[in-house]
Structure 1
Amino acid sequence: MSRFCVYLGSRDGRDPAFLEATRALGRELAARGHCLVYGGARIGLMGALANAVLEGGGDVIGVMPDHLVEREQAHQGLPTLIRVNNMHERKASMAAHADAFIALPGGIGTLEELFEAWTWQYLGLHDKPIGVLDTAGFYSPLLTFLDSTVEHGFLNARTRSCLIDAEEPAALLDALEARLAETAT
């Protein structure tokens, strides 16, 4: 069993495909025996993902700062909810509990978390695989931009290739599991 840290929105988004892909990823994680590590919320895509993993019999670790728990944002049905003091501790705890990272659709918090995990990988602070689920082309503009940063000489091709992308949850998990197997040897 591996632990997948998933960054994603606390809103559902406008396209129903986001919610369905989120639930599909949750079902896949549970079916493959993986543990979900996420921000601990009961709302939006975050809550839908946790519920899908739990409904599939999977394990879930939520990590949430006290101020959000107090605003009643925490998912109370989690097997493990780790309370921390602030957002910095939340991200550090989530990363420490993870074997791999996935970004689903989300806003600035999701993007910030994705880029921080990727930067940490680039700096050699971890060697955990990172992927994005490009549901309904959500990440396509970003991926195109990242390719242009390679073309313009601001990002090397090897670093760019470390960010795995797929349109379907099963395909993304297959690719991340393959990277996990490579790093284990």
Structure 2
Amino acid sequence: MQTLCVYCGSSPGNGSRYIQAAADLASELVARDITLVYGGASVGTMGALANAMMSRGGRVIGIIPDALMHREIGNDHVTELKIVRSMHERKAAMAELADGFIALPGGMGTLEEIFEILTWAQLGFHHKPCALLNVDGYYDHLTTFLDHAVTQGFLKPWHHKLLQVHNDPASLLDSFRDYQPPQVTTWIRKQEQL
């Protein structure tokens, strides 16, 4: 793993734990010499993560649409800031650069981003690991919902396993280091057997 994409919010959330989680993840990324790709903002957990990376000597690539440059207060204190034309271009560039994907706690944008990239993995468009960093149980209800989606037949168990869930950055990054992607042909055979 050389470069990881981290999806996170333009809000800091309530309390200091989410900002601290961003700083903890930054420390692990820098210690492992992993470059961060993120949404390019200087506010919220996005800004906290990027600033923590830079203060520790890490490498940060921010990608932000021109329309959000002023609204999200683009971070020009990162290693490289790419300004693109649209959200679609932003997400495609982040996906292309990254060897894996992590979602810190966030809102609708964060969920949309991790689920889109997870859907691409489900369809076999990429074979990169995807994970939630479950800070203080933030994603517990979401993981319960995904279990429910499996029991109701809307999500295959082997697709559910594409989304890893970890409570701390070190175990998450260890799992990414050892990640072996499932074979798409195996998924197709299993689907045909059901």
TM-score by length of 1: 0.94
Give the corresponding residue for 1:168. Answer: 168
Give the corresponding residue for 2:146. Answer: 146
Alpha-carbon distance in 2 for matches of 1:116, 1:72: 21
Map 1:11-160 to 2 at 5 A: 11-71=11-71, 73-160=73-160
Shift of 1:70: 3.7
Residues 30, 54 of structure 1: 8 Å contact kept: no
Alpha-carbon distance in 1 for matches of 2:64, 2:156: 34
Q: Which runs of 5+ in 1 are unaligned?
A: none
Alpha-carbon distance in 2 for matches of 1:72, 1:111: 18
Residues 166, 172 of structure 1: 8 Å contact kept: yes
Shift of 1:72: 6.2
Give the corresponding residue for 1:3. Answer: 3
Shift of 1:152: 1.3
Residues 84, 90 of structure 1: 8 Å contact kept: yes
Alpha-carbon distance in 2 for matches of 1:164, 1:174: 12
Alpha-carbon distance in 1 for matches of 2:150, 2:19: 32
Letter in 1 for 2:106: G
Tell me which moved more, 70-79 or 131-140: 70-79
Alpha-carbon distance in 2 for matches of 1:166, 1:98: 19
Residues 5, 102 of structure 2: 8 Å contact kept: yes
Q: Which runs of 4+ in 1 moved over 3 A?
A: none
Alpha-carbon distance in 2 for matches of 1:134, 1:178: 20
Instruction: Give 1 or 2 for the bigger CA radius of gyration.
Output: 2
Alpha-carbon distance in 1 for matches of 2:170, 2:14: 23
Letter in 1 for 2:112: E
Q: Secondary structure at the match of 2:178?
A: helix
Q: Secondary structure at the match of 2:128?
A: coil
The alignment's C-alpha RMSD in Å is 1.1
Change (3 A) 1:19 1:72: closer
CA deviation vs aligned residue, 1:21-70 (integer Å, no higher than 9, x gap) = 11100111011100000000000100000011111211111000011224
- Calculate percent identity across the aligned residue pairs: 49
- Name the count of aligned residue pairs: 181
Alpha-carbon distance in 2 for matches of 1:123, 1:96: 16
